[in-house]
Homo-oligomer: A and B are copies of this chain.
Amino acid sequence: MNSHIAAVELEKAYRLINHGPTVLVSAEHGGVADVMAASWACALDFSPPKLTVVLDKATRTRELIDASGTFVIQVPTVAQLQMTHALGTTTLHDNTDKLQQAGAELFHLDGYAQPLVAGCAAWLACTLIREPHNQTAYDLFIGEVTGAWADTRVFKDGHWHFESADPAWRSLHYIAGGHFYATGALHVVPTDADS
């Protein structure tokens, strides 16, 4: 494992996606792994941490999540721009070499069956909370976060450090038509709450 990967306290896991980044969704079942890009992922609760993600019925990743009951939401970086776009615009249904062609390398962590994508800034391992109505009517999936990690070069001690890290570590915010915005300048409002 990359020596820069460190566990994130579960009660602070929401911070990994609170700024609304485009994410990669990965899953594995029966020896098949897939990764897709998703703009529509969002925190849902603090403790236990939960999140939502919208998964189109056409995606192979959704089938693997439905079969395995687990997945990972990870935060790709500017350095992974081309890979992220490729993972969001090709499907394993048509192209069994999708992951290799996109340049996505998977790894595993002890105690977790679901595959993680190397090189990301953060990872949230999730267990699917099955809600058949949401899944069928809205393509909306809910996951409980059971493990969280980040690369300490950009997230450390419970905080993102985009402003001091190399700009290639910034997260991505997709709009449409291949247009992504990177995370930008930090603005701090003085407050007594939180830390």
Contact = CB atoms under 8 A, between A and B. Distances in A.
A114 to B, nearest CB: 22
A85 B191 contact: yes
Specify which of A44, A179, A181, A183 lies most central, judged by the most chain B CB atoms within 10 Å of its CB.
Answer: A181
Interface of A: 12, 15, 18-22, 39-45, 50, 52, 54, 78, 81-82, 85, 89, 133-134, 138-140, 142, 159-160, 162, 167, 170, 172-191, 193-195
Nearest to A190: B178
Contacts of A173: 18-20, 173, 183
Contacts of A21: 20
A85 B195 CA distance: 15
Copies in the complex: 2
A178 B191 contact: yes
Contacts of A139: 45
A44 B140 contact: yes
5 contacts: A19-B20, A20-B21, A52-B140, A172-B187, A184-B185
Contact of A43 (B18, B40, B170): B40
Contacts of A188: 178-180
A174 B187 CA distance: 9
A19 B159 CA distance: 20
Contacts of A40: 18, 42-44
A194 B176 contact: yes
Contact of A45 (B20, B133, B138): B138
A178 B159 CA distance: 12
A36 to B, nearest CB: 15
